[in-house]
Amino acid sequence: MGKYTDLIKKLLNTSIIKYGMVGIINTLITGIIMFALMNIFSVSLRISNVVGYIAGFINSFILNKLWTFKGVKSSTLTQFLRFTGVFAVCFLLQHGLVLVLAEKLLIDKNIAAIAGMIFYTGISYVFNKLFTFKK
């Protein structure tokens, strides 16, 4: 039993697992806001997507700074500026994908939004690990 407990503790302490856990929280925040705006308040896909991702961005920076990549010694301002740059690039790629899926390929807006969330999570982890919170 001790071997498995130690393995689980090690896994939970890796940045990819922590990033994934933060990503789940961010996805819930982003998704709840985005889908509520679109489906309850009839806000456009474009605006709902932007507002949802801004809320996720704020949460993501705080949790990743304080928990996922907490051992990194660069200044908070430097990390925030890098994080903002990574967010902007990843969001623009994600937003473009969502619009192409929903408006050009006529895929349901909810499916397009989910595909965009998955895409965003993968590319943002790579960029944040290599650039924002590099050791």
3-state secondary structure the chain: CHHHHHHHHHHHCCHHHHHHHHHHHHHHHHHHHHHHHHHCCCCCHHHHHHHHHHHHHHHHHHHHHHHHCCCCCCCHHHHHHHHHHHHHHHHHHHHHHHHHHHHHCCCCHHHHHHHHHHHHHHHHHHHHHHHHCCC
Claim: this prediction has a pTM higher than 0.85 = no
pLDDT tens, residue by residue, 44-72? 999 999 999 899 999 999 998 898 888 77
Query: How confident is the model at residue 8, as a pLDDT?
Result: 67
What pLDDT was estimated at residue 122? 87
Query: What share of the chain in percent tops pLDDT 70?
Result: 93
Please state, rounded to an integer, the average pLDDT across all residues of the chain.
Answer: 89
